[in-house]
Structure 1
Amino acid sequence: MNRTIKHLFSLFILAASLGLVSFTVLRNSEAIKPGSDPIFKKAVYTGNDKVYKDHPLQEGEFYNPILQGTYPDPAITRKGDDYYLVCSSFAMFPGVPIFHSKDLVNWKQIGHVLDRQSQLDVHNTSISQGVYAPGITYNEQNDTFYMITTAFAGGLGNIILKTKDPMKGWSEPKKLNFEGIDPSIFFDDDGKAYVVHNDAPDKGKELYQGHRVIKVWEYDVENDQVIPGTDTIIVNGGVDLSQKPIWIEAPHLYKKDGTYYLMCAEGGTGGWHSEVIFSSDSPKGPFTPAPSNPILTQRYFGDERGAFKVDWAGHADLVKGPNDQYYGVFLGVRPNEDNQVNTGRQTFILPVDWSGKYPVFENGLIPMKPTLKMPEGVENHTGENGFFPNGNFTYEEDFTGENLDFRWIGLRGPREAFMETGKKGLEMEAFSTNITELKPTSTLFYRQMHRSFSFMTEMEYQPKKETDLAGITCYQNERFNYLFGITKKEGKDIILLQKTENGKSEILFSKNIELKNPVALKVEAKGNSYEFSYALKASEFRVLGEAVSGDILSTNVAGGFTGAMIGLYATEGNTAIPQSN
């Protein structure tokens, strides 16, 4: 970008941070010029999981999960025939993706709840910090939607936002006066409201590591604030305190046939994850656990489940669906053949049987299957006409559209701060920061949605010096990632693959090339094996080095709460400089 445009864009960013304007993808094809800033001409992502080949959809079926890739901690609400679903986004920007459906099968992403810098500050935040466990609830009393969440950045803590129409954006956040995490809000039919959340036990009463409690507060709807002094502990530890249950969290309140129900996750978001339910005659308790708990878990099953193995199921929310059939959305993971979790925690759905006193997830206590029967009268249009795809699919982007697909995200800052789209493609301004730093970088991310996939991009680029680099990154976090890109060394163009593990970077392979534009870069994963290749001529891909392990891109190795992502990347602060060839 030329300096005048950069200055104007800086003013735009400042105005946006003050809430004076909102972000849209900029279009100025005249500003795109070859140089040290790369121009990405296209990107193609293709999923190729064996489970979908082995289980082609039959008439009246759809695939589960409904949102593949790192879309964790789902929450759902309904107004009339409209369903809205939100997920955690941590330090991704914009934050809290929101989806809409008419039938719980076909979903469209309509944007993000936190789409302005005035709403979200994750500037120097680890990727697994930021925004946790949103709740979304429609209040019939005032025809208003509420999104409540915990923001582990920017000094916000627990916040709430409102809108009359989720299609048209959300208010500024309001800080709520309580500690803890994972809040959700419940509106009773008498006009009263309550907030429930996870918290630490009272000071001096923690019994073991992982001991948590669930609290409830009365909520002032007029002033949008919890009412001081109304907090009550309604669950201590979990279903059975004598068993030392860990991480009772993600609570939701419901009311059915005059009885109040409290549903929570228990066991931690890992191998012992589950969903449990309690009942009471009052929203403030006391709550009695169901004798049938847990009502959802996959923790009892081993590796014999084969290609479609779902683990970590829990963190759920309920909604009454088509034909008055209840459904529950929840997170789960699909490990690869080496039991590594690279695709992160994904959003699943199951029908719920609530014919008895307590709800139970249908087939939620046996090994899950990759397909579900659709609700009566619903047709499967996933992947068509803007509906979110699932199963195996190919997604292509040439970056010339009026709006960039919502699946493309930034990290720690808005994507518009470093990119422009136009007739020639996507120009990315190279920041001085690089992907190993805990700062905003010039990286446009796409979630890894399959265990086996390919991702190819075509770019025009001419590095000028060793600190210039552009290409792609396979990224779990700033301490665990692969970097595959083109830079300069002693006046020669170099292509290299760098591995960063536990914060230590090493160049695995590098090669002198005669750079011709455009150049194509590709990563192809087959389970835990990742292969990086390049093409200087059309379709003539050459593997750089050899296949490498994807284990550093897994939650198991890297830790945290997110899945791997593939990023289009540029920097003027490159430190991946190979030794002289």
Structure 2
Amino acid sequence: MMKYNNPIIKGFHPDPSICRVGKDYYLVTSTFEYFPGIPVYHSVDLINWELIGHCIDRPEQLPMEISKASGGIWAPTIRYHDGTFYVTATFSEKGNFIVHSKSPAGGYSAPVWTEMNGIDPSMFFEDGEMYYCANDWGREIEDPEGISVARMDPLTGKVKGDIKRIWTGTGNGWLEAPHIYHIGEYYYLFAAEGGSGWGHMVTTARSRSIWGRYEPCPHNPILTNRNDTSKQVLESGHADLIQDAEGNYYIVHLAIRPCIGSKTNLGRETFLTPLKKEDGWFYIEGGKAKLQEEICKTVEQRKTNAVEADFSKKEWEKEWLFIGTPVQENYSRGNGELTLRPSGEKLQDGQMGVTFAAMRQPDFECEIQTSLECHGNDIASGLAAYLAPGYLYRIYLSCEAGERYVVVEKFAEDFHQIVYREKVVCKEIGFTMRADKNKYMFSYTINGNTINAAECSVRFLCTGIPNRCFTGTVVGVFAEGDKRESASIRKFVVR
């Protein structure tokens, strides 16, 4: 036995799903309006994870341009069957889809749209059949929510036979995130209830037939931090079960680490919690997620590596994200530079196609650096910490009719504040953004001289501030202004 620290994947990584192929584990999470969609992580020990690719990495796969903030791709499930990886998810603006690939890292097919509605879909393969399950909000006002199952062709999305409701939960509301497993003599159903907030939880049930009747677990909810007075971990739920190569059971699930009160700016992260089994029931000792757990193996938990982009190659590092499908002509890489061209959209509006290349904020304490040069008299470019439309902090160089200013500004819904503005003379400028649990600190460097510009509380970039914000803070470089002008980014480091 050894101790490990949660979360196992830090930052904006909600709704994890996992599968095992031999001694290899693969995990996916939600990406909502961001592109590329559905990151795929690989591990050989359940503790250390590497980003190896994405399921949605081509613009023609999904119409990301119709996504809304915290819309887009919800709650993927990954499963492996007969040499092929299958991933299903909800595209909130259209319906549920399935993609497949022989390689977990990429090359996934065009989506097929399923004939089964509901959110948080999942797949279960057995005896040559694929069973598809999702939540079902009910057909009539008085009809309770539930989990429904049907046989389905994974290559066409067509339902075979009837759709049958199999469980209506434990009465805690917001029944979602169903997964089915066949272990021993029982089919086990894991689900989330209580809503994706302080009341979030994992509940389970079992049946001797996949079609039910499902008996609720006497330990329900088997996981919740709703009454955790330590407040180190909150909002735990949305779990997927995995058995390791040694026969031990765990769940991956989402939870948050609060930074101010009960709020976080990182969003929902991926946790790993061990399961116990007694009398044919799964349960968690203590019933809550913790920052430190024990795993039945000996492995060293490595620190997350810094990401450094020097733009010597045209290919993007896997960590980059864009709000919707990027407008390719607004980004050009190579020879040590990333050239950004304004799209006409403003970052505070969070519109698809805005010129903004970002990565997930990796932890509460982190540092982001860039250096850049602006070309023109009506362009602004720099670093931004972005949560949602109308919620961002940024430091940038503003070029205005031959004059140049360093500006730090904050947006929080209808609140806008310029907290720093200073005229500068420079060709190239470096920007640094440092963060801890309480604040963001902005500075800039010209000719080797560093000036501390401003400090801003993290409060207004916490996910509990905007309405229905399901994402987390991302950090990156942007350009706004005249579409004919440009900015040259010389480096970008996240550590």
- Which residue in the other structure is 2:282 paired with? 359
1:247 and 1:265 in contact (8 A); partners too: yes
Q: What letter is aligned with 1:117?
A: P
Shift of 1:367: 6.0
Q: Check 1:269–1:104 CA distance in 2 against 1; reply closer, same or farther (3 A cut).
A: same
Q: Say which structure is richer in helix.
A: 1
Residue-by-residue CA offset, 1:184-207 (whole Å, 9 max, x unaligned): 01112x22321111121222325x
Counterpart CA distance in 2 for 1:447 and 1:369 is 20
The 5-angstrom pairing of residues 463-542 of structure 1 reads 463-465=376-378, 468-517=379-428, 519-538=429-448, 540-542=449-451
**Residues paired across the two proteins, number:** 481
CA distance in 2, matches of 1:423, 1:62: 41
Which residue identity does 1:89 align to in structure 2?
T
Distance 2:312 2:301 in 1: 25
Deviation at 1:265, TM superposition (A): 0.6
Q: Secondary structure at the match of 1:340?
A: coil
Whether contact under 8 Å (2:190, 2:204) holds in the other structure is yes
- Does residue 279 of structure 1 match 2:188? no
- Summarize the Cα distance change of 1:292–1:272 in structure 2 as closer, same or farther, 3 Å threshold: same
CA distance in 2 between counterparts of 1:124 and 1:168 reads 23
**Distance in 2 of aligned mates of 1:76 and 1:367:** 18
- For residues 150-177 of structure 1, the C-alpha deviation after alignment (integer angstroms, 9 at most, x for no partner) is 0023x3x100111222134211100111
Match of 1:444, SS state, is strand
2:128 corresponds, among 177, 191, 196, to 191
Partner residue in 2 for 1:122: 64
Q: Which segments of 5 or more consecutive residues in structure 1 lack a partner in the other structure?
A: 1-58, 384-388, 575-581
C-alpha change, 1:430 and 1:123, in structure 2 (3 Å) is same
Q: Establish whether residue 382 from structure 1 lines up as the match of residue 306 from structure 2.
A: no
Give the AA of the match of 1:297. T
* Counterpart contact for 1:93–1:415, Cα < 8 Å: no
Equivalent position SS for 2:140: coil
- Alpha-carbon spacing, 1:496–1:402, altered in 2? closer, same or farther (3 Å): closer
Residue of structure 2 in register with 1:201 after alignment:
138
Change (3 A) 1:561 1:273: same
Which residue in 2 is equivalent to 1:330?
Answer: 253
Please list every run of 5 or more consecutive structure 2 residues that lacks an aligned counterpart in the other structure.
Answer: 484-495
Aligned-partner residue type, residue 225 of structure 1 = K
SS in 2 for 1:436: helix
Q: CA deviation at 1:298?
A: 1.3
In structure 1, how many angstroms separate the alpha carbons of the residues matched to 2:301 and 2:225? 29
Q: 2:291 matched to which residue of 1?
A: 369
Aligned equivalents of 1:552 and 1:289: distance in 2? Answer: 40
How far off is 1:120 after superposition? 2.0
Instruction: Please state if 1:158 is matched with 2:69.
Output: no
Selected match of 1:169 from 102, 107, 111: 107
Looking at structure 1, the residues matched to 99 and 253 of structure 2 have their Cα atoms a distance apart, in angstroms, of: 22
1:543 to 452, 460, 464: 452
- The one of 423, 426, 429 equivalent to 2:335 is 423
What is aligned with 1:41? none
| CA pair 405-375 structure 1, distance change in 2 beyond 3 A | farther
Overall identity of the aligned pairs, in %: 31
Q: Greater CA deviation, 333-342 or 314-323?
A: 333-342
Equivalence for 1:320: 243
> In structure 1, which of residues 459, 472, 477 is the aligned counterpart of residue 372 of structure 2?
459
User: What one-letter code is carried by the residue in structure 2 that aligns with 1:110?
Assistant: I
Q: Greater share of strand residues, 1 or 2?
A: 2
| 1:361 to 1:414, Cα distance in 2 relative to 1, 3 A | farther
The aligned amino acid for 2:434 is E
Matches within 5 A, 1:220-231: 220-221=153-154, 223-227=156-160, 230-231=162-163
CA distance in 2, matches of 1:456, 1:265: 39
Shift of 1:100: 1.3
- Of the structure 1 ranges 316-325 and 528-537, higher mean CA displacement relative to structure 2 is found in 528-537
Q: Quick check: 2:123–2:130 contact (8 Å CA) kept in 1? A: yes
Q: Which amino acid aligns with 1:422?
A: G
* SS of residue matched to 2:87: strand
TM-score, with structure 1 as normaliser: 0.78
Ranges of 4+ aligned residues in structure 1 off by more than 6 Å: none
| Distance in 1 of aligned mates of 2:352 and 2:290 | 39
Q: Are the counterparts in 2 of residues 463 and 486 from structure 1 also a CA contact under 8 Å? A: no
Q: 2:23 aligns with which of 73, 78, 81?
A: 81
Deviation string 1:433-472 (CA, Å, 9 cap, x unpaired) is 121232211111111122232212111223422xx11001
Distance 1:197 1:67 in 2: 25
Alpha-carbon distance change, 425 to 375 in structure 1, aligned in 2, over 3 angstroms: farther
Q: Secondary structure at the match of 2:202?
A: strand
**What do residues 372-427 of structure 1 show as CA deviations (whole Å, max 9, x unaligned)?**
44442x432635xxxxx2xxx64433232464321111111137553232222322
Provide, for residues 347-370 of structure 1, a one-character-per-residue CA deviation record: whole Å limited to 9, x for no partner: 01122113431112345x246133
Distance 1:418 1:320 in 2: 45
User: Does the Cα contact within 8 Å between 2:112 and 2:155 map onto a contact in 1?
Assistant: no
Shift of 1:94: 0.4
Give 3-state SS (helix, strand or coil) of 1:323's partner. Answer: coil
Asked if the contact 1:92/1:127 (under 8 Å) is kept, the reply is: no
Aligned to 1:235: 167
C-alpha change, 1:279 and 1:573, in structure 2 (3 Å) is farther
Give the 3 Å change call, closer, same or farther, for CA 375–426 of structure 1 in structure 2.
Answer: farther
Q: Pick which of 280-289 and 351-360 moved more.
A: 351-360
